A and B are shown apart, each in its own frame.
Chain A
Amino acid sequence: MHRLEMKIRAANEASRVALIPFLTAGFPSQATFWPTLLDLDRSGADIIEIGIPFSDPVADGPVVEAASRQALSEGIRLENILKELQSTRSVIQSELVLMGYYNPFLQYGLERLAKDAEEAGVAGIIVPDLPYDEASPMKSKLKAHDIALIPLVGPNTSVERMRLYANDAEGYCYVVSVMGVTGARTSLPPEVGATLARAKQVFNVPLALGFGLTNPAQLADLDADAKPNACVFGSALLQHLSNGGQAHDFIARWL
């Protein structure tokens, strides 16, 4: 079992949903990013997704895009993130996942990325603009270094396409809750239950629900066969931090 899956299963065995906060690298500021990451880690995150900034984030709403632009303007680079992770990794308990668009990874070099990410202790990578049909070059390079390429599926993903992803999925599957981009929403759309139920039938790896999550009450209405194994929250956390909030206070809502 991949270590990302083990993390999520362990939380589920303790009768709780695994928590996966998303934090854009260099956010809230270059100086406060690492302390915030450590705060998330100590206050109960199981996995932390670190957002790699990109100039043209087509799957993101305004909050993540603004964080990404701010990070770029402060000179945040993939190379530096990986280097700093190498020295910080040993004190972090959570598993780490990078989330970023394909071009920065491609320009870094897929082979070099796989090697450096492994040395930095990265367990998985999520690439929102890399669908199944284009993923094999990256996937094979990452696999050789025991890093999972996490698939994303959504409300309009058919069972047939889910099967393509499920075939050799590792770690977890990211289930996009809405037909839209990232961003906090007060309620989840009604079809999210059906999407999760469909994905549960197809995937053996745990399911992480993301896009639009702000608080645990949003999960209350889901049927037992449609509960996600993990929850990802990004925009809501970034907003909370922007407003001067502490990472541990945000996590505490979910514990």
Chain B
Amino acid sequence: MKKGYFGEFGGCFVPELLIPPLQEVEKAMDNILPFSKFQAELKDLLNNYAGRPTPVTFCPTLSKELGFNLWLKREDLLHTGAHKMNNALGQALLARYMGKKRLIAETGAGQHGVATAAAAARLGLECVIYMGAEDVERQASNVLRMELLGATVHTVDSGSRTLKDAINETLRVWITNQETTHYCFGTAAGPHPFPTLVKKFQAVISQEAKEQMLTQTGHLPDLVVACVGGGSNAIGAFANFLEDESVKLLGVEAAGTGEPGCFNSAPLNLGSPGVLHGSYSMLLQNLDGQIEPSHSISAGLDYPGVGPEHSYLQKTGRVKYSLVKDQNVVAAFMRLSKTEGILPALESSHALAWVFDHQSEIKPGSTVLVNLSGRGDKDMGIIESVLHGQGGVAHA
């Protein structure tokens, strides 16, 4: 396979001026990351700063209702509230080893921005976060969190003023600041080596989960389910199960409001292959190759592209990808909160919703592991507007 490719997907479609810093990151990934001193330092940060290992939690009430055993991998318990921290700490530490003084990052909902800001503060790096103007408005509390953690938040006013434009802007800024600055890319997408690098840092999810499930249930799960936006929590949840043929893997995309032709964030199900943000992967685009706006009730899935390895895993058939509508997501959010006392992020609620909606297709008595990628505290504003019927589902 060509370097940086997953089958036909992936690659490094960036301006020549970004090739040297990307090659520098690739070199660091190959030479610094496997180094035992780096690994020990990262493990210490993950365990003693961020709270790893996260537990797997059995859901007794839901399992009884559903007729199969539902387990959750609790990335919501990680410091700053989501799996994003695994990658942010990994890249921040790598950046320090590379001699960089500064981190820049894009953020959509703000979770990656908050995680990067925290990691930068902890490791003594400067931090600038780029965030679309629309996201700055709808995620104001995360803007404050980033600022309290010492980061500068830069509002991006160009394009559709959301995550994809924040990525464009961060790539532009990186061209100018590459000597001193590392771009801490937030998901398993973008140009090579980011899809591989982010996967390496997120694979800890399935590495732990596999061991925990074997210890606690005596066998591997029959099905692992994760939500897919850019796809970092999903690739992390799938990575160590890819070789285990008995384990079915399922990624869940955001269908948006669900009526035919509505805006969505489901390029694997509803898109076509093309090049955005440095890689060839499934995309929401029109026939002319212009990128279409995306939509999801969960800002963290609101992205028109997806990591190239997911496109590959879909094509090979190893992973199936489905999609769930906003209203079913809210129902799943409510159900987990009430029955198990866990407020899931709306992103993770997509994975739960698929499981709840497909109860009849899952073999009774089997074991299902859902990656609960984040906690729902950040989503209170959206949930509140849904509960008060303010059209929050359609325009979260």
Which residues in A have some Cβ–Cβ distance to B below 8 Å? Answer: 54-59, 61-62, 65, 69, 72, 77-79, 101-108, 128-134, 151-158, 161, 176, 179-181
Instruction: Tell me which residues across on chain A come within 8 A of B11, comparing CB atoms.
Output: 133-134
Chain B interface bracket (under 10, 10 to 19, 20 to 34, 35 or more): 20 to 34
- Choose from B168, B175, B287 the contact partner of A56 (Cβ within 8 Å): B168
In the bound complex, do residue A107 and residue B15 qualify as a contact, i.e. CB atoms below 8 Å apart? no
Instruction: Tell me which residues across on chain B come within 8 A of A58, comparing CB atoms.
Output: 14-15, 168, 171-172, 277
Instruction: Tell me which residues across on chain A come within 8 A of B7, comparing CB atoms.
Output: none
B160 and chain A: residue at smallest CB distance: A55
**Top 5 nearest A-B pairs by Cβ distance?**
A107-B289, A104-B289, A103-B289, A55-B290, A55-B291
The smallest C-beta distance from B193 to any residue of chain A, in angstroms, reads 13
Instruction: Tell me which residues across on chain A come within 8 A of B13, comparing CB atoms.
Output: 102, 129-131, 134
A65 and chain B: residue at smallest CB distance: B158
The reply on B288 being an interface residue by CB < 8 A is yes
- Among the stretches B16-24, B95-103, B337-345, the one at the interface with A is B16-24
Which residues in B have some Cβ–Cβ distance to A below 8 Å? Answer: 11-17, 19-20, 158-159, 164-165, 168, 171-172, 175-176, 178, 274-278, 283, 285, 287-291
The smallest C-beta distance from A126 to any residue of chain B, in angstroms, reads 11
The smallest C-beta distance from A244 to any residue of chain B, in angstroms, reads 24
Interface class of chain B by DSSP: mixed
Q: How far is the CA of A181 from the CA of B276 in the complex (A)?
A: 18
Instruction: Tell me which residues across on chain A come within 8 A of B158, comparing CB atoms.
Output: 62, 65
A133 and chain B: residue at smallest CB distance: B12
Number of A-B contacts defined by CB within 8 Å: 104
State whether A179 and B159 are in contact (beta carbons under 8 Å apart), knowing that A104-B288, A107-B274, A156-B20 are contacts in the complex.
no
Instruction: Tell me which residues across on chain A come within 8 A of B175, comparing CB atoms.
Output: 59, 179-181
Instruction: Tell me which residues across on chain B come within 8 A of A156, comparing CB atoms.
Output: 17, 20, 178
Q: Which of B165, B175, B288 has the most CB of A within 10 A?
A: B288
- Can you give 27 A-B contacts (C-beta < 8 A)? A55-B159, A55-B290, A56-B276, A58-B15, A58-B168, A59-B172, A65-B158, A69-B159, A79-B288, A103-B289, A105-B289, A106-B274, A107-B274, A107-B287, A128-B15, A129-B13, A129-B275, A133-B19, A134-B13, A151-B16, A152-B16, A154-B16, A155-B17, A156-B20, A157-B17, A180-B172, A180-B176
Instruction: Tell me which residues across on chain B come within 8 A of A101, comparing CB atoms.
Output: 275
Q: How far is the CA of A79 from the CA of B12 in the complex (A)?
A: 26
A108 and chain B: residue at smallest CB distance: B289
